A and B are shown apart, each in its own frame.
Chain A
Amino acid sequence: MRKSLLALAAGLLLAGSVSAASAADKLKVGFIYLGPIGDLGWTYQHELARQALVKELGDKIETTYLENVPEGPDAERAIEQLVRAGNKLIFTTSFGYMDPTLKVAKKYPNVHFEHATGYKRDKNMSTYSAKWYQGRYIQGLIAAKMSKSGVLGYIGSFPIPEVVSGINATILAAQTINPNIKVKIIWANTWFDPGKEADAAKALIDQGADVIMQHTDSPAAMQIASERGKLAFGQDSEMIKFGPKTQLTSILDTWGPYYIERVKAELDGAWKSEDSWGGLDSHMFAMAPYTNMPDDVKKIAEDAQAAITAGKLHPFKCPVIGQDGKEVECKGGANLADGQILGMNFYVKGIDDKLPGK
């Protein structure tokens, strides 16, 4: 027993030294994750993308990740640790890593950084995010078609522009199908608390909603909708396992193509600091298969997806009427400008609720 253990240890040491030797000329790529990989949502999707990256470029790169890194000052240490370990390209995958990433980026000008969902950039620090509101527009069409009660339920995390623009896109789409559609909005004030998300879903269903949408991360709402025989949309990940007869579709965060593109650029010496805000056209996210709906609804969804991808359909096509009945100033020509969507802090007409903090 002891002998075999020793042999095993020696073997491991040998294997370690061999891989270290061959890794010397490989590009080292680091990732900072907010949650545990197994969260089935946000972090899980970044991890899937990392795996796709390894599959594609595994012979040229070596990847490392640190999971469960809290946002704030601790993140700075974690990022710096990746720099010291020799990583030349580092992806920091949550909004709260913005300032820590910038700080470390200023300290190490020869290392390249990529920050997800932030707005601060530098010569060696890029940002990337996705136009999820496009997916929510498609969900709005489906929801309005599938709802019998004409009441949709929406679980929000925090009233920030990303979430507010999602609600507005949903309602603008739903109104094209049913002008009288109602939406009930509950703010959970958390990204992740399965119990609370379940309670919110229960409350929405008890109040008459029959299609549940969520901008929180756990599958709890899907499960409640499934238990009660209602319909729902997944978030971040495929959640159909939790509602085989419930999930209509889900917005899937697919970072893989972006990570591969950026690492290739780094390998070619062509990496530049950029701001990438991609949508369906650049595969920054995808829609899960359209299920549990009749063919005509599926067709509406697929057509909308094709039109958005082709740039023929924009969720925030001017004129956009605000909740106060006034037309929102159209700064982008035919559609609201990107900046207006990125900073959206109003509800559109037809939402019978008040935006918190307004």
Chain B
Amino acid sequence: MELVEAIILSVLAASTPLLIAATGELVTERSGVLNLGVEGMMIVGAACGFGGAWLTGSILIGALFGIVAGTLMSLIFALMALGLAVNQVATGLALTILGVGLSGLIGAGFVGERITPAIHLHIPGLTDIPLLGRVLFGEDAFVYFSIALIIGVWWFLYRTRAGLILRACGDNHISTHALGYPVLRIRTLAVMFGGACAGLAGAYLPLAYTPFFIPGMTAGRGWIALALVVFASWRPGRLVVGAYLFGAVTILQLHAQGWGVGIPSQFMSALPYLATVIVLVLLSRARTGGSTAPAALGTVFVPDR
């Protein structure tokens, strides 16, 4: 029982940065913009988040630094890809390269410094309930925030007028524009939201997961977040499932190795990616209810005035 609880806790923690970053990218892509710079925004968020927390001693301020840093990075993307209508794929990739360099520069001063990590909640009574107590009431605040975030995004996309307009931008920007909605402004806001989420997801790593900063510590999680959005076929519900599935496979393959299950570790390390490919194939085969990529995803929009 204890081991099951320990595994669930590890899975929750491992899935959280993926879920936060992917939620942001989901909104961005739903507005019709493909931002491949998630890794870059995340890693700058990690550097700034850690820096903020280290300078002020506050995890909350660190998280805010991460959010602001991610948002600023996304504004560079918005300026290039939306303002100047540069190719989105190229701009996103450039953003990642820029972010990796920037994070090294920003973080150079506090590599190896220590901070007090985000504390785990402890609600007397509730947290002490066996098995479920620690899972439901004993994690750090980021974990619960990520769940609130995805529920909020689902509600926004499917239950509000603004969400409907955002989705309309992603599906047909010309019609949306013709109806008089400011496509570029909506997309810029969506890109900024994506940046804020990526920055926060990056900040989660040095603030709660492994409380120190080292360049390169996101280690490709931004790319997994991007894959997750496709995996989820742009739907918030599936995104949650996907994020926890990824986290679970990652953690369980480590446990399987510890138990001495005779499957090659290289194969098990590749499992999450294999799962993505399989789901993508299944989705593309399904005629109905399958892939629902926003129709205008990645296409440049230049309003004729």
A→B interface (CB under 8 Å): 35-36, 38-40, 68, 153, 159, 184-187, 189-190, 192-200, 202-204, 206-207, 209, 218-220, 223, 241-242, 352-354, 356-357
Please determine whether B219 and A193 come into contact, CB atoms closer than 8 angstroms.
Answer: yes
CB-defined contacts of B14 to chain A, threshold 8 Å: 195, 199
CB-defined contacts of B269 to chain A, threshold 8 Å: 187, 189
Interface status of B107 (Cβ within 8 A of chain A):
yes
Please determine whether B7 and A206 come into contact, CB atoms closer than 8 angstroms.
Answer: yes
Interface status of B205 (Cβ within 8 A of chain A):
yes
Taking A198-B209, A356-B266 as contacts, is the C-beta distance between A38 and B258 under 8 angstroms? no
CB-defined contacts of B210 to chain A, threshold 8 Å: 194-195, 197-198, 218, 220, 223
| Chain A residue nearest to B11 in the complex (CB) | A199
Interface size on B, residues (CB 8 A): 37
Scan B99-133; emit 1 where CB is below 8 A from any A CB, else 0: 00000100110011010000000000000000000
Q: Give me the 4 closest cross-chain CB pairs, A-B, nearest first.
A: A38-B111, A187-B265, A193-B219, A206-B6
Tell me, in angstroms, the Cα distance from A219 to B111 when the chains sit together: 12
Please determine whether B219 and A199 come into contact, CB atoms closer than 8 angstroms.
Answer: no
> What are 7 contact pairs spanning A and B, CB under 8 A?
A38-B108, A39-B215, A40-B112, A68-B104, A153-B258, A202-B6, A204-B258
CB-defined contacts of B163 to chain A, threshold 8 Å: none
Tell me, in angstroms, the Cα distance from A193 to B205 when the chains sit together: 11
Tally of A-B Cβ pairs under 8 angstroms? 113
Scan B224-262; emit 1 where CB is below 8 A from any A CB, else 0: 000000000000000000000000001100110111101
CB-defined contacts of A206 to chain B, threshold 8 Å: 3, 6-7, 10, 255
Within the complex, which residue of B6, B108, B111, B257 is in contact with A40, where a contact is CB–CB below 8 Å?
B111
Please determine whether A357 and B260 come into contact, CB atoms closer than 8 angstroms.
Answer: no
Minimum Cβ distance to chain A for residue B43 (Å) = 12
Interface status of B221 (Cβ within 8 A of chain A):
yes
Taking A199-B10, A353-B260 as contacts, is the C-beta distance between A35 and B209 under 8 angstroms? no
Taking A38-B104, A198-B210 as contacts, is the C-beta distance between A203 and B251 under 8 angstroms? yes
Please determine whether A357 and B264 come into contact, CB atoms closer than 8 angstroms.
Answer: yes
Tell me, in angstroms, the Cα distance from A209 to B265 when the chains sit together: 19
| Chain B residue nearest to A209 in the complex (CB) | B258
Please determine whether B209 and A38 come into contact, CB atoms closer than 8 angstroms.
Answer: no
Interface centre among B14, B210, B216, B221 (most CB of A within 10 A): B210
Please determine whether B260 and A199 come into contact, CB atoms closer than 8 angstroms.
Answer: no
Tell me, in angstroms, the Cα distance from A192 to B218 when the chains sit together: 10
Interface status of B212 (Cβ within 8 A of chain A):
yes
Please determine whether A207 and B259 come into contact, CB atoms closer than 8 angstroms.
Answer: yes
Please determine whether A354 and B221 come into contact, CB atoms closer than 8 angstroms.
Answer: no
Interface status of B211 (Cβ within 8 A of chain A):
yes
Please determine whether A199 and B250 come into contact, CB atoms closer than 8 angstroms.
Answer: yes
Within the complex, which residue of B3, B209, B215 is in contact with A195, where a contact is CB–CB below 8 Å?
B209
Minimum Cβ distance to chain A for residue B20 (Å) = 14
Minimum Cβ distance to chain B for residue A157 (Å) = 11
Please determine whether B255 and A203 come into contact, CB atoms closer than 8 angstroms.
Answer: yes
Taking A38-B215, A40-B214 as contacts, is the C-beta distance between A186 and B260 under 8 angstroms? no
Tell me, in angstroms, the Cα distance from A184 to B260 when the chains sit together: 8
Tell me, in angstroms, the Cα distance from A352 to B259 when the chains sit together: 10
Within the complex, which residue of A184, A195, A242 is in contact with B258, where a contact is CB–CB below 8 Å?
A184
Minimum Cβ distance to chain B for residue A236 (Å) = 12
Please determine whether A354 and B262 come into contact, CB atoms closer than 8 angstroms.
Answer: yes
Please determine whether A242 and B212 come into contact, CB atoms closer than 8 angstroms.
Answer: yes
Within the complex, which residue of B211, B250, B259 is in contact with A196, where a contact is CB–CB below 8 Å?
B250
Scan B262-305; emit 1 where CB is below 8 A from any A CB, else 0: 10111001000000000000000000000000000000000000
Tell me, in angstroms, the Cα distance from A223 to B117 when the chains sit together: 11
Interface status of B217 (Cβ within 8 A of chain A):
yes
Interface centre among B108, B250, B259, B265 (most CB of A within 10 A): B265
Please determine whether A36 and B6 come into contact, CB atoms closer than 8 angstroms.
Answer: no
Minimum Cβ distance to chain B for residue A57 (Å) = 27
Please determine whether B251 and A199 come into contact, CB atoms closer than 8 angstroms.
Answer: yes
CB-defined contacts of B259 to chain A, threshold 8 Å: 207
Please determine whether B7 and A192 come into contact, CB atoms closer than 8 angstroms.
Answer: no
Please determine whether A207 and B258 come into contact, CB atoms closer than 8 angstroms.
Answer: yes
Please determine whether A38 and B114 come into contact, CB atoms closer than 8 angstroms.
Answer: no
| Chain A residue nearest to B270 in the complex (CB) | A189
Minimum Cβ distance to chain B for residue A312 (Å) = 35
Tell me, in angstroms, the Cα distance from A350 to B259 when the chains sit together: 15
